[in-house]
Amino acid sequence: MIILRSLFYILIFPGALFTACFGLFLTGVDRKVVARMQHRIGPPLRQPMYDFFKLLGKETIIPHAANKIAFLGAPIIGFVSLALIMLFIPVGGLTAFSGNADMIVILYLITIPGVALIVGGSSSGSPYAGIGISREMVTMMAYELPFVLVLLAVARKAGGSELAFSMEKVAEWQAANGNMLFQWSMIPAAIAMLLVVPAEVGTQPFDVAEAETEICEGPLIEYSGSALGMFKLNTAMKMFVMSGLFVSLFLGGIRTGFAVCDVIVFILLCIVVTIICMSTTHAVTARLKIEHLFKFYWTFVAGMALCSLILVWCGL
For another protein, the binding residues (CB under 8 A) are: 31, 35, 38-44, 47, 49-54, 56-61, 212-213, 216-217, 220-225, 228
DSSP class of residue 301 equals I
d(CA 46, CA 51): 9
Nearest to 109 by CA among 90, 86, 139, 91: 86
Strand ranges, E, within 40-141: none
Backbone angles phi, psi at 146, to 5 degrees: -60, -35
The gap between the terminal CA atoms of the chain, to the nearest Å, is 45
Residue closer to another protein by CB (options 143, 223) is: 223
Tell the smallest beta-carbon distance from residue 63 to another protein (Å).
Answer: 9
Residue closer to another protein by CB (options 57, 315) is: 57
Residue closer to another protein by CB (options 3, 41) is: 41
Tell the smallest beta-carbon distance from residue 126 to another protein (Å).
Answer: 9
Residue closer to another protein by CB (options 127, 257) is: 127
Q: What is the DSSP string of 196-244?
A: HHHHHHT-GGG-GGG-TTTSTTGGGTT--HHHHHHHHHHHHHHHHHHHH
Residue closer to another protein by CB (options 60, 280) is: 60
Residue closer to another protein by CB (options 163, 216) is: 216
Residue closer to another protein by CB (options 228, 237) is: 228
d(CA 309, CA 315): 10
Contact 261, 300 (CB under 8 A): no
Ramachandran assignment for 160, one of left (phi > 0), alpha (psi -120 to 50 degrees), beta (any other) = left
Collapse the DSSP code of 164 into the 3-class scheme (helix H, G, I; strand E, B; otherwise coil) and give the result. coil
